[in-house]
């Protein structure tokens, strides 16, 4: 059945998104890799069914991308929202308003826009899976990362709300809340911030992209059938709830 399904993975040019795109391709799905980074998308074009340059924070860009995917691969059955930015690493009183807006626009509004663009079709067909990458920061709040933490808390709330709205429609919506993962996005994270986050992980290490992709694989499949509007811990024991 998976070979007849289409998955849209945002933030797919690198990091968690790329890992998820590769894993879902290996699972037999037709994967549309979506990212704002055209250069890095070009580098993975042969690994996936199609690539699409898209700004997830722009409604028109999202709509045209979803239409293009439908025209070439079929309607989106699985949506994996990985696109995200770290945002400013400073105390809240030093956060520039434009950086606050950008962080929420990509991390939270982007998920709203992609979800809104595909969920009606999933409901009509009676089957769909949406997986949102949140963060442990959305549960606990990381100091000097107010914009990021707030955006990921919003992802958790959005996931729970939407999951309940479509629970009887055959559409399953869940989130994953990782602790810090070894990704290119974290190469620019201040060393003291990384040290702080790793120190709070009982396993004492970074999470790995393949570990996230493994959970995404299950949440995107028929194997996940009675769990929705949930947030899955992937934090090496850091999670407190």
For 103-129, what is each residue's pLDDT tens digit?
A: 999 999 999 999 999 999 999 999 999
- CB-based burial label for 168 (10 Å; 0-12, 13-18, 19+): exposed
Domain over 2-234 is classified CATH 2.40.160.40: no
Angle between helices 146-165 and 110-125 (to 10 degrees): 10
Confidence tier at 1 by pLDDT (50, 70, 90): low
- CA dist., res. 95 & res. 133, Å (int): 23
In order, the DSSP letters of 68-103 are HHHHHT-S--EEEE--------S-GGG--HHHHHHH
Backbone angles phi, psi at 187, to 5 degrees: -70, -25
Length of the chain: 241
pTM listed for this prediction: 0.95
Distances (CA, A) of 161 to 16, 73, 131, 167, 228: 24, 29, 13, 10, 10
Beta strands in the chain (DSSP E): 6-10, 30-35, 50-53, 78-81, 128-133, 171-178, 230-234
Please give the structure tokens belonging to residue 168.
């009887």
Please give the structure tokens belonging to residue 123.
């409901």
Q: Where are the domains of the chain?
A: 2-234
- Does 241 qualify as catalytic in the annotation? no
For 183-239, what is each residue's pLDDT tens digit?
A: 877 777 778 878 887 888 999 998 999 999 999 999 999 999 999 999 999 999 987
Tell me whether strands 171-178 and 230-234 are parallel, antiparallel or unpaired: parallel
Residue of 148, 196, 232, 241 marked catalytic? 148
For 74-108, what is each residue's pLDDT tens digit?
A: 999 999 999 999 999 999 999 999 999 999 999 99
Torsion sign (Cα): 110, 114, 120, 126: negative
At a CB cut-off of 8 Å and minimum separation 6, what does 187 contact?
Answer: none
Q: How many helices (H) and strands (E) does the chain have?
A: 9, 7
Of residues 192, 89, 73, the one with CA closest to residue 147: 89
171 beta partners: 128
Q: What is the pLDDT at residue 216?
A: 98
């Amino acid at each position: 059945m998976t070979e007849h399904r289409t998955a849209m993975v945002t933030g797919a040019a690198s990091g968690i998104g790329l890992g998820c795109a590769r894993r879902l391709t290996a699972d037999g799905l037709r994967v549309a890799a979506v990212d704002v980074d055209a250069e890095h998308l070009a580098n993975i074009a042969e690994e996936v069914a199609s690539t699409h340059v898209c700004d997830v924070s722009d409604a028109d860009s999202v709509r045209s991308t979803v239409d293009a995917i439908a025209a070439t691969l079929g309607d989106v059955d699985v949506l994996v929202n990985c696109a995200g930015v770290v945002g400013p690493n400073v105390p809240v009183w030093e956060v520039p308003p434009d950086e606050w807006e950008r962080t929420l626009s990509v991390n939270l509004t982007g998920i709203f826009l992609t979800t809104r663009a595909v969920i009606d079709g999933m409901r009509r067909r009676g089957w769909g899976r949406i997986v949102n990458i949140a963060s442990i920061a959305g549960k606990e709040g990381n100091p000097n990362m107010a914009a990021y933490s707030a955006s990921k808390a919003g992802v958790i709330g959005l996931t729970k709300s939407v999951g309940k709205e479509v629970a009887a429609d055959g559409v399953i919506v869940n989130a994953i809340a990782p602790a810090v993962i070894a990704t290119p996005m974290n190469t620019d994270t201040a060393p003291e911030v990384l040290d702080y986050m790793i120190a709070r992980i009982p396993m004492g290490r970074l999470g790995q992209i393949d570990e996230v992709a493994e959970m995404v694989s299950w949440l995107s499949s028929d194997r996940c059938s009675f769990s929705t509007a949930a947030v899955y811990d992937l934090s090496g024991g850091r999670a407190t709830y």
